[in-house]
Amino acid sequence: EDQVTQSPEALRLQEGESSSLNCSYTVSGLRGLFWYRQDPGKGPEFLFTLYSAGEEKEKERLKATLTKKESFLHITAPKPEDSATYLCAVQASGGAQKLVFGQGTRLTINP
């Protein structure tokens, strides 16, 4: 069974304090790993797709990396507006396009 585990469950940082969020996964053949940001009361907003180990993607203060067992979302010098829940999801190869989500990391950036 495909599984995604995110850690930590919650993280509080001071503005400017860099850190990383972890997403560990087991999947029967990875088609893609996706990172989303979700604000309270809203649907997830797409951030990155990673397809193979060693791949990296960057967007503003965020950088996502991928190995064969886990993905990291690095946040550099975060700002209060980066506060949100960050969700990781995997899509397995073999037909269906459905996603399996992790529990998410609730990130709070204090000014």
Closest to 21 in 3D by CA, of 1, 38, 35: 35
**Separation between Cα atoms, residue 38 and residue 70, nearest integer Å:** 20
Give the residue, chosen from 21, 66, 92, 99, that forms a contact with other proteins under the rule CB under 8 A: 99
Token pair for residue 31? 């088609």
The reply on whether position 1 binds other proteins by CB under 8 A is no
Neighbours of 62 (CB within 10 A): 19
Are 76 and 18 in contact by the 8 Å Cβ rule? The answer is yes
Minimum gap (Å) between residue 84 Cβ and other proteins: 14
* Angle in degrees, CA 100, 90, 53, rounded to 5: 160
Minimum gap (Å) between residue 26 Cβ and other proteins: 16
Residues 27-56 that bind other proteins (CB under 8 A): 31-32, 34, 36, 41-46, 49, 51
Distance between start and end Cα atoms, the chain: 41
Closer CB to other proteins, residue 36 or residue 82? 36
Closer CB to other proteins, residue 44 or residue 78? 44
Closer CB to other proteins, residue 78 or residue 102? 102
Give the residues lining the site for other proteins (CB under 8 A).
31-32, 34, 36, 41-46, 49, 51, 87, 91, 96-104, 106
